[in-house]
Chain A
């Protein structure tokens, strides 16, 4: 067992050395989480927009459900996806279990409700401002949704960021459906869990540092885009 200082020194050296195993884990993490975020946005944003502008019976129940789904436990999602993708499950014939695709599916299920619920609030606020003008222009529902999504684009970036943050930091679902297989499905969070249990704190800390740097970098980039947009009154 290393001391924290010793482990931190080793971790920094590992990051600076560009270790290929470390790089492979980081790149797979980014591929899985970014793909899941993009897919979740493609699903969640239109749903959020439709609920935001829709007035229908049971809307309150839908809102409660959407908000509740934001707190989906990752291990439960992992378990459900596992049951569907396992050899005896209904989608077992696809052979996706213990692949990055299974991890993308699990993360998408986890973050799509977050994207839908947060975007619903953003779009509903914007729609309150635009509603009369859009009705006066006789816009169709599709045109309204498209216009709202476009005009809320900078606020929705933050929504996407929240989804990505949840995906990249998540461990419970991906370890169940991915299996944490070296060179195949090992991502940063599952590797951190494994290396910590083995007592190899240097690699765990190195991955932790990279995870933090990625989180900071993505946040800084989004904040910079939002500030530019705010200067042009586009937010």
Chain B
């Protein structure tokens, strides 16, 4: 049996695939996630779907290492989530922007990561915010704020990008702009793990779908198989717009 130290990948060792073995999370005396076992491959985009309260965002945070599971094991290429967190980035549903200018939000991340600040303008240009670089970040519209959060996440040059409902309550143009940025990151080899309620978005972006129901994995299959022919009753009801309780 290998020790944890032997399992820990070096800085350039691959951290994918990620495997979850019997992961459970108990909050307030009740299990919110139970017996979650998954393996997510090295490339592409995984959509985590399910009704409200199914545990999607908690699963995302556990995979990233922000929450420790009550039991079970999560391994990124043999390493614990906390050991590889710096090689990943998470964009929250409600973007957390610093009380600074748009440019200073990017500068902050580049500085703490010891990266070249000359990248800043290219990143802002990439997300269509270069012309707003001097503006206060917290005065941006919802779509612009989310694009800035994405640019900041990409500034860390992540190998894995977690997105927690990044387009919730955004207009179609903003959704499209964000999907373009995410698709571009994916085409450059960034592994995308996306929580979404938007069926259209999941159809457009996902290579595989993890469907959660009442804190358990009801289904994990390719997007090609999932959308036309879901195997679980819960997923079928969800896709058909029936209330899943």
* A and B held together in a complex: yes
The residues of A with any CB-CB pair to B shorter than 8 Å are 129-130, 132-133, 135-139, 143, 147, 150-151, 232-235
Rounded to whole angstroms, the CA-CA distance of A50 and B156 in the bound complex is 26
**B138:A151 contact, CB within 8 angstroms:** no
**B92:A232 contact, CB within 8 angstroms:** no
Stretch at the interface among B16-24, B83-91, B192-200: B83-91
Rounded to whole angstroms, the CA-CA distance of A143 and B156 in the bound complex is 16
**A133:B108 contact, CB within 8 angstroms:** no
Q: Known: A133-B96, A138-B85. Is A233-B138 also a contact (CB below 8 A)?
A: yes
**B96:A132 contact, CB within 8 angstroms:** yes
Rounded to whole angstroms, the CA-CA distance of A138 and B158 in the bound complex is 12
Q: Which residues of B contact A234 (CB under 8 A)?
A: 99-100, 136, 138
Does B109 lie at the interface of the complex (its beta carbon under 8 Å from any beta carbon of A)?
yes
Most chain B CB atoms below 10 A, which of A130, A138, A151: A138
Q: Which residues of B contact A151 (CB under 8 A)?
A: 98-100
* Contacts A136-B89, A151-B98, A151-B100 known; 15 new A-B pairs at CB < 8 A: A130-B98, A132-B92, A133-B96, A135-B66, A136-B90, A137-B109, A137-B113, A137-B156, A138-B85, A143-B112, A150-B100, A151-B99, A232-B136, A234-B99, A234-B100
**B64:A136 contact, CB within 8 angstroms:** yes
Does B139 lie at the interface of the complex (its beta carbon under 8 Å from any beta carbon of A)?
yes
Q: Which residues, 180 to 197 on B, are CB-close (under 8 Å) to A?
A: none
Q: Known: A147-B108, A232-B136, A234-B136. Is A138-B98 also a contact (CB below 8 A)?
A: no
Q: Which residues, 98 to 115 on B, are CB-close (under 8 Å) to A?
A: 98-100, 108-109, 112-113
Nearest residue, chain B, Cβ from A234: B99
Q: Which residues of B contact A130 (CB under 8 A)?
A: 96, 98
Rounded to whole angstroms, the CA-CA distance of A137 and B137 in the bound complex is 18
Q: Which residues, 115 to 142 on B, are CB-close (under 8 Å) to A?
A: 136-139
Q: Which residues of B contact A132 (CB under 8 A)?
A: 61, 66, 92, 96
**A138:B66 contact, CB within 8 angstroms:** no
**B89:A233 contact, CB within 8 angstroms:** no
The residues of B with any CB-CB pair to A shorter than 8 Å are 61, 64, 66, 85-86, 88-90, 92, 96, 98-100, 108-109, 112-113, 136-139, 156
Q: Give, as a whole number of angstroms, the nearest-CB distance from A107 to chain B.
A: 30
Q: Which residues of B contact A143 (CB under 8 A)?
A: 112
Q: Which residues of B contact A235 (CB under 8 A)?
A: 99
**A137:B136 contact, CB within 8 angstroms:** no
Rounded to whole angstroms, the CA-CA distance of A130 and B137 in the bound complex is 15
Rounded to whole angstroms, the CA-CA distance of A167 and B22 in the bound complex is 60
Rounded to whole angstroms, the CA-CA distance of A233 and B135 in the bound complex is 10
Most chain A CB atoms below 10 A, which of B99, B137, B138: B99
Q: Give, as a whole number of angstroms, the nearest-CB distance from B95 to chain A.
A: 9
Query: Which 5 pairs between the two chains have the least Cβ-Cβ distance?
Result: A233-B138, A133-B96, A232-B136, A138-B86, A151-B99
Rounded to whole angstroms, the CA-CA distance of A234 and B96 in the bound complex is 13
Q: Give, as a whole number of angstroms, the nearest-CB distance from A33 to chain B.
A: 29
